[in-house]
Amino acid sequence: MAEKKHKMSRERYEEIRKELEYLQTVREKEVSEQIKEARSYGDLSENSEYDEAKTEQGKLYSKIAELKELLENAEIVEHVTRTGVIGIGSRVTVLDVEMNEKSEYQIVGSQEANPAAGRISDDSPFGKGLIGHKVGESVTIEAPAGELQFEILDVAY
């Protein structure tokens, strides 16, 4: 089975790459030193410092593996340039027809999503429902609460 591609901007890719580099150099040495120091305390069977350091090492290696997988399967998404068409990178202003409320969102890759900050994943039902549409169009989004109607008021990049 093919690995799932993780869509992200070049900026997000670089953030992950820098975090991975930090974890593999600085943080790995720190944890290694903690283990070494804890070993010097003697009996490992009753050594809580050693247990904590080994647990920290496990978490670190898990995080490193996760970041490597993200980078290996990253798909860098350049901002869409087709004028007026919603895609990844688009800033979209929509009107919730039922509530008569305007909202603004940016469509981003799943690694950059932060709904509280208005950054909606292209993989989410809302993101999928908006992609490919233009200003003036109405879209129906299937949500857990039922169908929601939106009118697209503006698209910017």
Q: How far is CA 126 from CA 44, 53, 94, 119, 132, in A?
A: 52, 42, 11, 11, 12
CATH code of residue 38: 1.10.287.180
Instruction: Please state, rounded to an integer, the average pLDDT across all residues of the chain.
Output: 87
Do residue 60 and residue 99 come from a single domain? Answer: no
Q: What is the arithmetic mean of pLDDT over 51-55?
A: 90
Domain match, 95 and 37 both: no
Given a cut of 60, whether residue 1 has pLDDT beyond it is no
Which has more pLDDT, 7 or 24?
Answer: 24
Contact present, 109 and 128 (Cβ < 8 Å): no
Residues 72 and 95 in one domain: no
Residues 6+ apart with CB under 8 A from 52: 34, 38
For the stretch 70-126, pLDDT in tens is: 899 888 876 555 567 888 888 999 999 989 999 999 998 888 889 899 999 988 889
Q: Which domain holds residue 37?
A: 6-76
Q: Name the pLDDT band for 28 (thresholds 50, 70, 90).
A: very high
